[in-house]
Amino acid sequence: MEMYDVETLQVKQRKILQEIYDYVSGAALGKDLYSVENDLFRYVLRMGHAFLCEVIARHGTGKAVMRSHYDTTRFFRNMQGIFSSLLSFPRAG
Tell me how many domains the chain contains. Answer: 1
Between residues 39 and 93, the one the model is more confident about: 39
Q: What's the average model confidence in pLDDT over 13-36?
A: 95
- Cα separation, 49 vs 39, in Å, equals 15
Any domain includes 21: yes
- How many Cα atoms sit within 13 Å of 49 on the Cβ side? 13
Between residues 52 and 25, the one the model is more confident about: 25
Any domain includes 90: no
pTM, full prediction: 0.61
Between residues 3 and 21, the one the model is more confident about: 21
Any domain includes 89: no
Q: What is the CA radius of gyration of the chain?
A: 17
What percentage of the chain reaches a pLDDT higher than 70?
60
φ/ψ (deg, to 5) at 13 = -60, -45
Any domain includes 88: no
Between residues 29 and 57, the one the model is more confident about: 29
In tens, the pLDDT along 36-81 reads 999 999 999 999 999 988 888 887 777 655 555 555 554 455 555 5
Q: Which residues pair with 83 in a beta bridge?
A: 73
Any domain includes 92: no
Structural domain boundaries, residue 12: 3-83
- Work out the mean pLDDT of the chain and round it to a whole number: 77
